[in-house]
Amino acid sequence: MHGEYQEFSVTTHATKKRTSTRHPVPSHTGNSKLSADEHDVDVLSMVAEEIDARSADYRQRVATAAYFLAQKRGFEPGHELDDWLAAEEQMAQTRATPFRSNLNRSMP
């Protein structure tokens, strides 16, 4: 606690960046705990920041993959959506593959 403000730190998993914000110390109920409404606002704020960061990172990775797909076919116009969708599919497969391979390795 710093005076009348409390500092909250959030580490964004997608970018590994740590951000800190200061919020006024909320009013407390009789038992010195946050009310449900005050707690929900803080949690929703942190979740929204995490979602924004992950969404931006995901879009950047898809855009990069789509660029390389377009490059492979010589940047022929008219296939931008196809490139984007194929890049999203590649991203989905990439995320699923390590999980499956780790399962196979851990089984005797």
**What is the reported pLDDT for 3?**
47
Q: Whole-angstrom Cα distance, residue 83 to residue 70?
A: 6
Alpha-carbon torsion (24, 29, 32, 37), positive or negative: negative
Give the count of beta carbons closer than 10 Å to the beta carbon of residue 70: 19
Q: Whole-angstrom Cα distance, residue 20 to residue 8?
A: 5
87 burial type by CB count under 10 A (0-12 exposed, 13-18 middle, 19+ buried): buried
Residue-by-residue pLDDT tens, the chain, 108 positions: 444 666 666 666 666 666 666 656 555 444 556 566 666 778 888 888 889 888 999 999 999 999 999 999 999 999 999 999 999 999 988 877 655 555 555 554
